[in-house]
Structure 1
Amino acid sequence: MIRHIVFFSAANPEDVDTIRDGLMMLKDIPDAHHFEVGRNLRSDKITGPQVDVVVYAEFTDQAALDAYKSNPIYAACIAKVRPLREMRIAADFEAPSDG
């Protein structure tokens, strides 16, 4: 299993909900085994630059992640969100399928 985590910050704080709504488009891509988008609760006081929105998804394998990223919905999401974000950090890692 591959876990895919992406952190976003908004260039303008007023755009956080628009970014979150744009990222929710990704839930319609069928290749993710599990998919979530959420606003950062900002409960960690040690964090440096603040993250506003987090995407968390799980994929059965690299082929599923590649299919997700090649879906036209993914491209439409990028077109909507990229102009509004200041920062994007993504990480993918392999995890055991049983958790």
Structure 2
Amino acid sequence: MIRHVVLFTAKDEARIQEIVEGLSILARIPHARRLEVARNRKADQLGNDVDVVVYGEFDNETQLAAYKAHELYQESIRRVRPLRELRLAADYEASPDSDRT
């Protein structure tokens, strides 16, 4: 399984909800096993620079690539890019047992 995490900062704090809305259309893309878009709670004692988080789970690289190639992904970029300052992304392979604690 591939986990996809993307962190965003807003150029203008007043437009964070617009970023959330622009990213929320990603949930309509069928290739993700799970996809969440949320505002950062900003409860960390050391740093709260991130405004919005996208978290996705994909069965494999093929599904992740199909997600990124989807027209709604491009629409989301079109909406969000002008509003965001920073975008950091990480994709990593998670073992099936990694959900156990």
Q: Secondary structure at the match of 1:22?
A: helix
Deviations for 1:24-68, whole angstroms, at most 9, x for unmatched residues?
Answer: 000000000001011101111212x60000000000000000000
Letter in 1 for 2:90: A
Aligned to 1:2: 2
Aligned to 2:46: 46
C-alpha RMSD over aligned residues: 0.9
Over the matched positions of the two proteins, sequence identity in percent amounts to 47
List 4+ stretches of structure 1 deviating above 2 A. Answer: none
Q: Secondary structure at the match of 2:45?
A: coil
Structure 1: gaps spanning 5 or more residues: none
Aligned to 1:55: 54
Q: Secondary structure at the match of 2:82?
A: helix
Instruction: Using structure 1 for the length normalisation, give the TM-score.
Output: 0.96
Aligned to 1:29: 29
Tell me the matched-pair count.
Answer: 98
